[in-house]
Structure formats: structure tokens, C-alpha cells
Amino acid sequence: MTQLALVIDLNVCVGCHACVTSCKEWNTSGSAGSLSDDNPYGKDPTGTFFNRVQTYEAGEFPNTETIHFPKSCLHCEDPPCVPVCPTGASYKREEDGIVLVDYDKCIGCRYCSWACPYGAREIDEHQKVMKKCTLCVDRIYDETLPEAERKPACVMSCPTSARLFGDVHDPQSAVSIAIREEGGYALMPEWGTKPSNHYLPRRKTRLHIHEDELVRADNPLKKEQRGHAAPVDDTTLDDSTSW
């Protein structure tokens, strides 16, 4: 069975919020919209967002680092928001594993919001139904778009290519390879919800250079040295290499 999902590389995410704004732009004008906002520039702005970036510091000062953590619906394989929905408005698609809300069946009881351990559910305060990330379902199957653009808006917009999109059940897909080879992990797997979205951890790239490698044992300038030492008549590297 196909399970579409996002894989987000925390190593290269810089927390720029491009995914947040592009998601909002696409979905507010698409079939999932509108995503209403109130007081967007006021003191207490409220609004509906499918994708949010959280930031936290790991470690103890001074050995700390800031981690930006983009979070949207994780399209769990066992989503706790689905069984709690009294009308069945919240459902998981068989064909691609996307968790969606049928806006026409949602009565706005907000119980799914209680059930989601990841805080991914959003009440649209004007349409008064529950909304959430659709993985841009109205875009990824749109054959009027060039194939390269049939990806979620957040994936398209990420300037550092921190977001990958694909089928995590296909072992040869780019997302599965990334999860397998880069140590991809799920958020709070202990809930047993089996989130489909995965995160690639922060990785330290260290170059190990021995001190010897920084000191040139055989100085090519030796031959031209004047004053201090007698001219060198031996063969130097310069005589035997092209540079």
C-alpha cells in the first residue's frame, strides 16, 4: 500500500518559514481553503495554518544548538484523530494513506483536536470545521501541472531542499532511502501512532586532519631561499611534480 509522506531534514532546515507561507498561500486559495485569519497584523493574531515551525534549543549552555522543527500533520499510519470523529468526517485514504477531513461531514466538535498528540489540527474559525495538512492532495495529482511540480507546496518552496516527498512504503523511493541511510526517525513514536512523516536528524560533519598534514615536510620554496642557508642542490618536489 502506498503511504505518501514528507521527510524533513533538520540538518539543513534554517527555520525560514518559506514552507509555512507557501503552504498558507496554496491552501488558502485551493480546495482546502480558505484558511481564515483574524487580526493578522494586530496584537493577538489568530489564523489557520497547516504547517508550523517550532524551534527549540538542545543541550546545556554553552554547548547548545538551535533546532528548527517544521511540523504539520504527520499522516500517521494509525491516526488517533480518525477513530474519535463522531461522524467519520476524519478519514485515512486507502489508496495513498493521506489523512483528510471531509468538510461537509465535520460538525466542528473539535474532539479530534484533543486526540491528536502532535497538535496538528486546526479549527477554521469562520468555516468552523476542522482542517489540517492535506499533503496538497489537490496539487500532487493535478495532471495539468508539469510532473516536477506535482509536489506539496512546502516541498516546492524550501530553499535548502530540506523537504522530501514520496512513498515511504516503497523501499526504493528517495524518502525511504533517506530514512534508511540518514537515520530518519518519527516524532514521538512511543504514542504508537506510527507517523508517516519522518525527520532526518542533525548531523555533525567533521573533517579529521592530523597536524602533519598541515605542515609541509618538504618546502618547495627551499630552493629559492636566500641568505640563511646554502642553496639546495638536491632534487625537490618542484622538480618532479607538475605544479
Q: Provide the binding-site residues for another protein, judged by CB under 8 A.
A: 17, 36, 38-39, 46, 48-49, 52-58, 69, 71, 80, 83-88, 105-111, 113-119, 121-123, 125-130, 187-188, 191
Residues sharing a CB contact under 8 Å with residue 127, sequence separation 6 or more, in sequence order:
34, 36, 103
CA proximity to 36, closest of 107, 125, 113 = 125
Q: How far is the CB of 128 from another protein (least distance, A)?
A: 3
Q: How far is the CB of 82 from another protein (least distance, A)?
A: 8
Q: How far is the CB of 77 from another protein (least distance, A)?
A: 16
Q: How far is the CB of 44 from another protein (least distance, A)?
A: 9
Is the CB of 171 or the CB of 201 nearer to another protein? 201
Q: How far is the CB of 210 from another protein (least distance, A)?
A: 37
CA proximity to 51, closest of 31, 80, 21, 29 = 21
CB 100 within 8 A of CB 135: no
Is the CB of 53 or the CB of 73 nearer to another protein? 53
Is the CB of 2 or the CB of 21 nearer to another protein? 21
Is the CB of 14 or the CB of 58 nearer to another protein? 58
Residues sharing a CB contact under 8 Å with residue 9, sequence separation 6 or more, in sequence order:
160, 161, 162, 163, 164, 178, 182, 199, 200
Is the CB of 38 or the CB of 224 nearer to another protein? 38
Distance, CA of 220 to CA of 234 (rounded, Å): 12
Tell me, letter by letter, the H, E, C secondary structure of 98-152.
Answer: CEEECCCCCCCCCHHHHHCCCCCCEECCCCCCEECCCCCHHHHCCCCCCHHHCCC
Whether residue 34 has a cis bond before it, omega within 30° of 0: yes
Is the CB of 54 or the CB of 160 nearer to another protein? 54
Q: How far is the CB of 139 from another protein (least distance, A)?
A: 23
Q: How far is the CB of 50 from another protein (least distance, A)?
A: 12
Distance, CA of 147 to CA of 183 (rounded, Å): 29
Q: How far is CA 201 from the centre of its chain?
A: 10
